[in-house]
Structure 1
């Protein structure tokens, strides 16, 4: 067994039974008195936690001549409790044992300080992460265009959604990171921009300059400031649009129409052919619980619909076939967890620059206040009269059949009889839909006579 040198602060002379015969303290602990230990078992004065360790050290010394080092919280007669690291050795004539201990109070305090420092570092780390998250949310949701540009090579490090729209237009969804900022500025304004950035580097600030950005050359006032980040310097560039400057390809009547759309109390969205949001009004932002237009533009509408992907696919399928859709029922799921029952009306554009106009109306109050005289309630009312005459199992089976028949019929009416669209609305395969149509008499000879197929022949009925 390896040993280490011990500078004893406490020395105990024990008999073979572990009873203290002599006790000596170092000058550093001379303030304590240990006369009350004499004649008592060491295990009796070591406290509840230390008594087992003491008995183990005594047994080890009797058996092998020396024990391992063990730390106990030794209680002194004055009531003070001090952490002491002891080892016990057998005397050569086996007439007794000697226990030597070192005061570990300074080490314990240092260990406590280390733990406290680690906890403080962890708290600071999470505070930093929280600040970084808040910065990211504010940066992305800001309505003003903001860029972070490297001071060394003038390449873009970060750009928020408003800045991307300023360069690429509202239809753009490109990532500006890594691109040369000066190359995005109109050629006539580049020298002025470079001079302004040189002054910012030298003085920390400079007067704003007029720049033209993007494919339409829209005019902006640019101001910048110098910051240090990650052992390098960066420019924080802020763009303010000139409200008096005309915008190419945007007539005055278009601006008036945009203003009217923004004030519509129902949600309005302009989509491209893939269902990606290109323009929204404030009512739509309230429905999806998003703070600003740039945070919604460029995302798929299916992100917020009741069944992500499925409802949007059904809506686009109906639009491609019929060019317009009315009273398409679904739910909107907000970013903060809210859920709203809505009705959607949509129209597919016919111009070359194809847009889809979508009007979204909150109908949750209407649904909450619906009376008991609707079609489904009337269809289920006979079931109540069978209570007591039929088993619960049969009642439930009949109710399920009536509800299923009701929604199959409603899906057929909403899709104007198109079976492919009906199957998508119900989340069924075409084979399952055909089986239900035959079961409830909604075939071509019955209530579903107005149903139309999607252009396939009889062999298509077996496709899923």
Structure 2
């Protein structure tokens, strides 16, 4: 504490009014009390604080009566120290406010006035600091509640992690080393949890499965998720499991959650059940106007939407489930074998032309796009089937072209579309007709439509050329050209 060195000369002669102004300016609230602690005068340096303290109700009242019960000993100590001219001390006093209002926190220090039996109590308004302290306490309680909830949640999930009968591991996304394992995973690896921590995850599998597991991990790190794979563990029993993995982030640390499931054993003839993530997709495509079918790797139907049932002339989906998709191809077997072979080699097929035949014989020209999807380590095939009968003319086939009314194909592309749909001998006949027609058209172009010269160029008699012109509908044949001579 540092006092004035020469207050008599530095402050000059101060009258009562100047002294009162100095006291009022030096504090938010100033009380003048006598030796008995009765308030003789007071000043408040704020209209808001004055209204909250109740105006001028303190004149002639003991200071003890204007404070809360717990603050009375502090007021008595202030008055006693001022009377003894002890060094001033600041004390936290809660002044009573207007009736029904809360108390106002004020920091008081009392100083005795000269030789008179009076003391001045200087007060500083602590409402702002008190509000900050209250907000700090509220924030601290909120943090404590959140922390308690977090600890409870962590305890619950830790308990689930430990008690789960399914092997679960947590890996670091950088090197795919094991960070945590539950007891089920530790037993499956044939070692305790402490020996598994820090080891590369791929070491738990045999040499034939490590490449698939590493590919799965790389796909998860790149895209967040990847299709499940089947792998065989490097343990005494060497069980085969389905490995599922997903990426998650916690406190700016990226980790991989791995789940190992036993390979489902399907009964003979029983269709493979799709997981929930795949059934959602089936629900979305149920209402599309194009047919949509999901089959197993054996080509048997797992699910089909309403549009396909209409094409296949089936009333309910149960009639299609378990049946081979080739049942509705015309001719049976050929087109489906070609389609399935392409799917197994390339994983996807686009705009495959085929004919779909319903239960009651109705044939529909369709375009098929298909894709392979892994399900539990096994492939499933999805087929999108679009009716193009109204858009494309039906290609003529086989014996329907025989005779004078035959309409030959116009391009090699149309013949290519028939591969796998008609027998080879019919394809050869169709290709021969196309080549023959193209040669006749070229000869007519080279001879400027001189048919005699064109016949000689082609090595045909004129009569044979006229027969072929009529067969293919080429040129404007008059009655004189339509002789009935023998054709070559």
TM-score (norm 2): 0.46
Q: Which has the larger radius of gyration?
A: 2
TM-score (norm 1): 0.48
